[in-house]
Amino acid sequence: MSGLPKCPQCGSEFAYEDGAMYVCPECAHEWVKDAAPDVDDARVVRDANGNVLQDGDTVTVIKDLKVKGSSSVIKVGAKVKIIRLVEGDHDIDCKVDGIGAMQLKSEFVKKA
């Protein structure tokens, strides 16, 4: 191991030194060698396209999703407003019109 830190932006292991900076070749993020990593940025939730999701965002469903324990289906293109990010496998907590309160996986939505 080279002892170089992972990229704080994308988590790439291929960061390299460039003078007083570290550079990530995958996302082109640059940061100062002496900068301490932010603890708040440790958990980043991304949608199916790689966009960072935040509380209060509006997302669109990209795949028909069966609702467990029901015969209902959330159709492709359904807009979900005011999401809330939570810990766990299903990392989006929201209300879907016509269905009610749901938890969704971020890999099945895209930022609107």
pLDDT tens digits, 13-69:
888 888 888 899 988 888 888 755 555 556 799 999 999 999 999 999 999 999 999
From 19, 50, 54, select the one nearest 33 (Cα to Cα). 19
CA 59 to chain centre: 12
Q: How confident is the model at residue 81 (pLDDT cuts 50, 70, 90)?
A: very high
- CA dist 96 → 26, 65, 86, 89, 107 (Å): 36, 12, 16, 19, 17
pLDDT recorded at residue 1: 45
